[in-house]
Structure 1
Amino acid sequence: MKKILTLAVAAALASGAAVTQAYEAGDWILRAGAVTVAPDADSDIVDESLPVTVDVDDDTQLSIIGAYMVDPYWGIELLAATPFSHDIDVNEVDAQAGETKHLPPTLSVQWYPRGAADGWQPYVGIGVNYTYFFDEEANSDLEAIVGKADLDLDDSFGLSASAGVDIPLGENWALNAGVWYIDIDTTATVKLKEAGGAKVKFDVDIDPWVYNIGIAYKF
């Protein structure tokens, strides 16, 4: 995904630099494309009796990103996407602990240093993320070790940082590429059904890099 994003931006810079697309106060920008969540995960050990850690795999979904220009240089962006689905893997052995789905809406304030100028529009931003986990399931690999179990992940609030660029393809259309780093920390709870409902809790830092490549339309 990183290589595709880099090549696409380079091609667009070569072909679209002369096309005008200055931003103005009141502009709405709708961006859509493919967005990949690539966790840089780290976790505590699951339990002293089960001294293993877990990792979270990547997933790609459809991005739907809206931005509103407060003035030519400042905008507010909401990152949204179709639900992501992730396998939760055990690091020390070839096994899966479970799987989960999540939605990570992220609201950012962005600065566009060339907002009032024609041509390409780079931007950087800071924001806040809320991640909602749902449809968590313990995997059969985990249940083979601990017996029947339920898996639950706490929702997360965290900060984010982002950067991106709109490369105009016309007066209203542009190619968009963006990247976010998001602080997503959760507590995983494994409820052991065959041990009187005993619960095992451990912290997981997901902290993903998020990459988007797509198109943008300015209203």
Structure 2
Amino acid sequence: MIIRTTTTAFAAALAIAGAAQAQDFQPKEKGGIVLNVRVTDVAPQGSDPITTLAGASTGLRAKANYDVMPTIGLTYFFTDNLAVEAIAGTTQHTIRAKGGATNVNVKDTWVLPPVVSLQYHLAPKAKVSPYVGAGVNYMLFYGGDDKNGFDLKIDDGFGLALQAGVDIATHERWSVNLDVKKIFFETDAVDRTNRIKTKVTLNPWVASAGVGYRF
């Protein structure tokens, strides 16, 4: 899903950028602000064993599904090359218990995972301008419903994020943005009603494509 979405978006971005080669554009520069509106695919990667509260194995593992939602990012440039970005959005995920013939929904939950990253832009004056970044995120679990007799409580917490992306200038203040992040996040979940617990290792790949406007 991530590869297909990103490849399609990248092809479209190159087509737009190619058509815009003869047009003027505003380069990245110190004091600039960029607003990116993106479509984002959040794909958790972890699969953790579910145990009893005493630590005995249940033979089951916890797994969260992916979700695709809109997100926004706001970037401020301290210098032509150095910038900070704050990213906000919310996604909904289903946590399942899987093992052998068992595959049941445990909980639907919303996650608010804001990310703040420090970025280095390698070619701020170019039409095709790549960047890399690193930062922190906070996973806030809210809303949703427990399923099939479960009563799962998931702890909020901080994680780390790595980022790589590219801005492709189109015309004047507009650009196409492609962005990929790897977020490293692990938390604990406990169901005291059924006396079970699990780690929840999300470690999602976060792939985005969208448009940007430079103020």
What TM-score, normalized by structure 1, do the two folds share?
0.87
1:209 has 2:205 as partner: yes
1:215 and 1:163 mapped to 2: Cα distance?
A: 16
Instruction: Give the aligned CA root-mean-square deviation in angstroms.
Output: 1.7
Match of 1:183 in 2: 184
Counterpart mapping for 1:30-41 below 5 A: 30-41=35-46
Q: Output the TM-score relative to the length of structure 2.
A: 0.89
Count of residues paired in the alignment: 205
Letter aligned with residue 58 of structure 2:
L
1:146 maps to which residue? none
Distance 1:11 1:86 in 2: 29
Residue in 2 that maps onto 1:76: 84
**For 1:130-169, what aligned pairs fall within 5 Å after superposition?**
130-140=138-148, 143=149, 149-169=150-170
Conservation of the 8 A alpha-carbon contact between 1:136 and 1:151: no
Distance in 1, matches of 2:203 and 2:98, equals 17
Note the residue ranges of structure 1 that are not aligned, 5 or more in a row.
Answer: 144-148, 193-197
Q: CA deviation at 1:199?
A: 4.3
CA distance in 2, matches of 1:153, 1:118: 44
Match of 1:27 among 11, 32, 40: 32
Distance in 2, matches of 1:27 and 1:165, equals: 17
Q: CA deviation at 1:130?
A: 0.6
Shift of 1:70: 0.7
The Cα shift of 1:99 comes to 1.6
The answer for the alignment partner of 1:113 in structure 2 is: 122
Sequence identity percentage? 32
Is the partner of 1:10 in helix, strand or coil?
Answer: helix
Question: Once the 2 structures are TM-superposed, how far is the Cα of residue 91 of structure 1 from its aligned partner?
Answer: 2.0
Shift of 1:79: 1.2
Q: How many Å apart are 1:42 and its aligned residue?
A: 2.2
In structure 1, the residue matched to 2:97 is 90
CA contact (8 A) 2:62 2:198 kept: no
